[in-house]
Amino acid sequence: MYPQSLPPFLIPFIAIITIWEVIWKLFALWKSARNGQKVWFASILLLNTIGILPIIYLVIMKRREKAEAPTAEFEI
């Protein structure tokens, strides 16, 4: 009824998706841990979203960092 193994063409696809997920997940986990964001850390750690949630997190944090960056103003 069910095949005993995956079709050969799916194995590289699954490997690529897994590597993609791990890279984005590790980078986002590292960033959320450094920022002390426990809810984001737990969400990224527990949910497997093929890299979508980690990418969303990284984009949001990048925008916040740009908005909070101090501007250099000199008075003469």
* Per-residue model confidence as pLDDT tens digits over 26-49: 999 999 999 999 999 999 999 888
Of 49, 50, 48, 58, the closest CA to residue 27 belongs to 58
pLDDT at 41: 93
Number of domains in the chain: 1
Question: What's the mean per-residue pLDDT of the chain?
Answer: 86
SS3 3: coil
What percentage of the chain reaches a pLDDT higher than 70?
A: 88
Q: Is residue 69 part of a domain?
A: no
Indicate whether 23 belongs to any domain.
Answer: yes
Phi and psi at 3, nearest 5°, equal: -70, 150
- The answer to the question of residue 4 being in a domain is no
| Averaged pLDDT for residues 6-26 | 89
- Residue among 36, 66, 39 nearest 53 (CA): 39
pTM for this predicted structure: 0.71
Looking at residue 68, its pLDDT comes to 82
